[in-house]
Structure 1
Amino acid sequence: MQKKEQEYFADRALYYTARAIVQQGIRGIWDYHLAPVYTVCFMDFVSNSPMLKEFRTDLVLTDLQTRQRVSDRMRIVYLQLPLFDKHTEAECMDIFDCWIYIVKNMNMFEQMPFSEKYPVFRKLAEIGDLRKLSREELELYDEDIKNMRDIYATRKFDEKKGMEIGMAKGMAKG
């Protein structure tokens, strides 16, 4: 999950997608047959990029003139979670909506939603049950939570400090 925008985020996604493609190469005789590579970028922010204006943006290799897809071997999907417009379980119309709703709201659930309709979510609940983690896994989980909270607190502090500096500059200019 990308928590905060960075200047070359799209280039970073392209780099890791290309790397996964290149790593399929075989030394010696090879016919260049590639398995498809899908990169899904979960973004916990709204991008300033003019290319990314919707909740979901799918990028593929396409001919500019004909708009025909050239290859099905590469796809980059950007999901801007703040733009996901389903706020209740009842609004989720298909399994994709359910997945995104769960990813976006995972920390809020007492019980896993949609598990009666889609058995995959029952399995997800089993996997995500903290009580089943080993001591080492729980320590890693706690460390991740600490890091997430530190990042959040740092970002909030940076925003507050930036506002104070901006206000001071604005007041100085009159």
Structure 2
Amino acid sequence: MARTNQPRRRALLDAAVDVLADHGARGLTFRAVDTAAAVPAGTASNYFPDRDTLLAQAGAHVHVRLAPAPAHMARLTDPAPTRDAVRTAMHDLFDRVTRDPAGYIALLELRLEGTRRPDVRAALTAAIDTSITDSIDFHVHGGYPGGRRTARALYLAMTGLIVEHLTLPETWHDTDPTRLVDDLVDLLVPDTDP
């Protein structure tokens, strides 16, 4: 019965993401997830049959956690498809990730774990492939400047910026991240604004 309690499952997956960010994949145990979720001991093992399943589902869930709410996404799509609209969207992405650094750090942990565990790799590949495809299609079909090639380059550049900012921010101590986002957009997205 407990397995159908979706709010609790979501809370356990959020706790798993936080444990991954704080302790890495080796620290992800049922006990650690129960503690982080503030639930009775043994709860996580009632929802996930084994650790590999927990890892794979945490990998799928982290994208849900980092995604913008549909209402927020609708506000981002209201403006005309210009370079400035892309700039606003990239700042929004950067802000979302920096407000939930544990989510992105857990994603990095899961990526590393995916190099050793095929099931985690498969779950991450499916989630990330969908995310990349959706992002690029949104850019292209929305008529944003630069098309598919620009959308791909922007995705890779923002991913690199986020990794640098979350893992080694001291190396960029003399550069404002807001300015770096602006620079990436200016360099990669053609200026077709009137």
Alignment TM-score, normalising by the size of structure 2: 0.27
* Larger strand fraction of residues: 1
Q: In terms of Rg, which structure is larger?
A: 1
How does the TM-score come out when normalised to structure 1? 0.29
